[in-house]
A and B are shown apart, each in its own frame.
Chain A
Amino acid sequence: MYIIIVGCGKVGYHLLKALITAGHEVLAIEQDPPRHARIVEELGSVAISGDGSEAALLAEAGANRADVLVAVTGHDEDNLVACQVAKHRFNVKKTIALVNDPSNEKLFKSLGVDVVVSHTNIILAHVEGELTEQPLIHLMPVPRSNLRLVDIHVPPDAEVVGKPLHELVLPPNSLISLVVNRKGQPRIPKPGQLIEPNDEVIAITPPEADEELIAIFTRVGR
């Protein structure tokens, strides 16, 4: 596979090394000349110097035959434009971008970047996982869709406890994909299966349904 990495800071550098080790053909594009020189000195001619969001430089990098372009600079505007140029000028099949500002995640997706990674949101999800009062945790986005995988904890006093799964009315496009009980046993949801206290409900859902799902699974009964 031929992979182009735009931005060879900490993330790009380690990615470059890992992909080389995995046996892929990789080329990094780094704007800062001293940093570019260090990479070439250490790893050989696996990097070129310049602006990786420029069409001319991407052409020079052989973007027209690249399978993947990964944009991981510290600037969201460069990451977005590099992916757009790769996709629309060079027909690169898969574009992956880092978003430094988590609020840009939706924008990148709507503009056609295939995989959008927000390190802030990933860490946040882990932190939220530690906090028991967080009713819904975002696990991961589902690629090529507007859906994501979420986990909802069912409190022992929730109204929904004891109800069969098939009786629940879920928001549109939402689906329960797995239920993990308090002993940590996973179960594929079946009609008639009852919701138990402290179940972890793993669901696929669009972002706008978060509030409704939280209400369904955590509303306290009388």
Chain B
Amino acid sequence: MNILVMGCNRIGAMVVRELVQEGHQVTVMDNTEENLRRIPPTLGARTLLADGTSEDDLRRAGIQGADAFFAIGAGDARNAFAAQKVRFLFQVPKVVCLIYDPIRQQMFRDLGVDAISPSKMISSMLLETLRK
């Protein structure tokens, strides 16, 4: 599959690495050079210094041919904005975003946006360790 990832922090870099290893064509975009350095050139993923909330940059990154778009940067608002923009402008079959704030995550889910809350998941995992 052709997958476009916005955000190359620790989560993003890990997702990119695993997707490439599974044999997918991956482009990762981030607006800081420093974050993109997490992807070694030998990995075979395409890196792009670009803004995932900008329509022009999304096109440049190849959003039109993408099978999936992951908006998984560090900011909730940017992730939500990018995901909704892609859903509105382009025909991408799968669009997922990270929303750290659990209240907003639920709200976006109710609005039909596929949103995952890392804070909710991690806190429940931590609590789970106590119960074992």
Q: Is chain B found bound to chain A in the same assembly? A: yes
Interface residue SS majority, chain A: helix
With A and B bound together, what is the CA distance between A78 and B55 in angstroms? 17
Shortest C-beta distance, B61 to chain A (Å), equals: 16
- How many B residues touch A, CB cutoff 8 Å? 20
Question: Do residues B104 and A85 form an inter-chain contact, with CB atoms below 8 A?
Answer: yes
How many A-B pairs with Cβ below 8 Å?
Answer: 52
The reply on A4 being an interface residue by CB < 8 A is no
Q: Interface segment, A53-61, A126-134, A136-144? A: A53-61
Shortest C-beta distance, B11 to chain A (Å), equals: 19
The reply on A80 being an interface residue by CB < 8 A is yes
Chain A contacts for B53, CB-based, 8 A? 76-77
Chain A contacts for B54, CB-based, 8 A? 101
Chain B contacts for A89, CB-based, 8 A? 103, 107
Question: Do residues B101 and A55 form an inter-chain contact, with CB atoms below 8 A?
Answer: yes
Mark B59-77 against chain A: 1 for CB-CB distance below 8 A, else 0.
0000000000000000111
Interface residue SS majority, chain B: helix
Question: Do residues B81 and A81 form an inter-chain contact, with CB atoms below 8 A?
Answer: yes
The reply on B111 being an interface residue by CB < 8 A is yes
Chain A contacts for B101, CB-based, 8 A? 54-56
Shortest C-beta distance, B107 to chain A (Å), equals: 5
Restricting to A77-119, which residues have a CB under 8 Å from any CB of B? Answer: 77-78, 80-81, 84-85, 88-89, 101, 103-104, 106-107, 110-111
User: CB < 8 Å: which of A54, A77, A106 contacts B81?
Assistant: A77
Q: Which residue of A lies closest to B105 (CB)?
A: A55
Q: 28 A–B contact pairs at CB < 8 A?
A: A54-B101, A55-B103, A55-B104, A56-B101, A56-B103, A76-B53, A77-B53, A77-B78, A77-B82, A78-B77, A80-B77, A81-B76, A81-B77, A81-B80, A81-B81, A81-B104, A84-B107, A84-B111, A85-B104, A88-B107, A88-B111, A89-B103, A101-B54, A106-B88, A107-B84, A107-B85, A107-B89, A110-B88
Q: Which residues of B are interface residues toward A (Cβ below 8 A)?
A: 53-55, 75-78, 80-82, 84-85, 88-89, 101, 103-104, 107, 110-111
A84-B107, A85-B107 given; name 20 further pairs at CB < 8 Å: A55-B103, A55-B104, A56-B101, A76-B53, A77-B75, A77-B78, A77-B81, A77-B82, A81-B76, A81-B104, A85-B104, A88-B111, A89-B103, A89-B107, A101-B54, A103-B55, A104-B85, A107-B85, A107-B88, A111-B88
Q: Which residues of A are interface residues toward B (Cβ below 8 A)?
A: 53-56, 75-78, 80-81, 84-85, 88-89, 101, 103-104, 106-107, 110-111
